Amino acid sequence: MKVINLHQEEKELIELAVENNRHAQHKIYSKFSPKMLSVCRQYIKDIHEAEDIMITAFMKVFTNLKNFEHKGSFEGWIRRIMINECISFIRVQKKVKFIEDEDFFEERFNNIESQFSVDEIQFLIDNLPDGYKMVFNLYCIEGFKHQEIATMLGINEGTSKSQLSHARKMLQEQVNKLKNYTNGTQ
């Protein structure tokens, strides 16, 4: 019964926000902004730029709220808008270059060990080139398939796979350096 009530409350809140009810919009923003800032921060290194992009994306959320069809997760719908806004920002900044790699082969990598904090892992991801970071986030964090990523970024599927492989390899190298540093062997 609670699940139905919670879903109904969210639906009513959305309907009020569609009618430009500021209180409802504020409730939506307050509920989702911490998570969405985190999403933006995955793609945008500078916290202030990430916050600006999140606010711009929320404006798009409220502008397009009437188009939400209640068929999937509302949070997922908002998240997708955030991701698209981050990708658009990076494209406008011309910070991303995708390199075609004809000789790419997919390697297996170890998972990053749990000895690292979230901040340390985010630091490692932030140090990836923007193309690697976008594909890594879309594939590993968001769960998109390479075909979807290729469509979103305007690249071919092989390039997406190559970017992911290079990102993983670079992260593995950074993890090894960090491990050696924290163990005092470097």
Per-residue model confidence as pLDDT tens digits over 24-67: 999 999 999 999 999 999 999 899 999 999 999 999 999 999 99
Per-residue model confidence as pLDDT tens digits over 168-180: 999 989 888 877 7
Question: Which two structure tokens, joined as six digits, stand for 65?
Answer: 């709220």
CA 58 – CA 81 distance, rounded (Å) = 8
**Three-state secondary structure of the chain:** CHHHHHHHHHHHHHHHHHCCCHHHHHHHHHHHHHHHHHHHHHHCCCHHHHHHHHHHHHHHHHHHHHHCCCCCCHHHHHHHHHHHHHHHHHHHHCCCCCCCCCCCCCCCCCCCCCCCCHHHHHHHHHCCCHHHHHHHHHHHHCCCCHHHHHHHHCCCHHHHHHHHHHHHHHHHHHHHHHHHHHHCCC
Model pTM score = 0.75
Burial (CB count <10 Å: 0-12, 13-18, 19+), residue 31: middle
The residue among 3 and 74 whose pLDDT is bigger is 74
Res 1: pLDDT? 44
